[in-house]
Amino acid sequence: MSAIFRCQHICLKTDRLPETRDFYANILGLAPTYYDETVGVLAITLADGFVLRFETAGPPEPSGIRFIGLELNSFAAVDSLFDELAGQVRIVEDLRARYTTVKGPYGFIIEDPNGYRLKLFKYGPRTQP
């Protein structure tokens, strides 16, 4: 049996490191925990310790990734963030109506500057509009 118990980080390629840093910090409010443009590394540590890491190791390869799921702490937070981001970024897919009364990822999908899709959601059954 494997001793692996969680995914601690994901490393994604980028050729737009400053834009990526600005997107995650200014649009999503996720401050970098490490950023070194000369080395070509950006790391963002989420509240649970999971790390989104970007490296300038070549152009992005978003075609191999469906999305990165970033869970919010409430359904109200999803709606609030949707309202806030709708005027700033293109909403690729709005999943909220589909999961209003059934269990699932109540949220929406956007793209970062590299073309990586981010699913911003709260999982569970939302029984109230």
24-46, pLDDT tens digit by residue? 999 999 999 999 999 899 999 99
Residue 1 in any domain: the answer is no
If asked whether residues 38 and 69 sit together in one domain, one would say no
Query: Is residue 31 a contact partner of residue 25, using CB atoms and an 8 Å limit?
Result: yes
Residue 32's domain spans which residues?
7-57
Name the residue with higher pLDDT: 1 or 62.
Answer: 62
Three-state secondary structure call for residue 69: strand
CATH of the domain at 96: 3.30.720.110
Strand partners, 125: 103
Please calculate the CA angle 34-38-41 and round it to the nearest 5 degrees.
Answer: 35
| Same-domain pairing of 73 and 112 | yes
Look-up: residue for tokens 């999943």? 95
Q: What is the pLDDT of residues 64-121, one digit of tens each?
A: 788 899 999 889 999 999 999 999 999 999 999 888 878 888 999 999 999 999 999 9
Q: Which of 16, 39, 57 is the last residue of a domain?
A: 57
SS (HEC) of 51-72? EEEEECCCCCCHHHCCCEEEEC
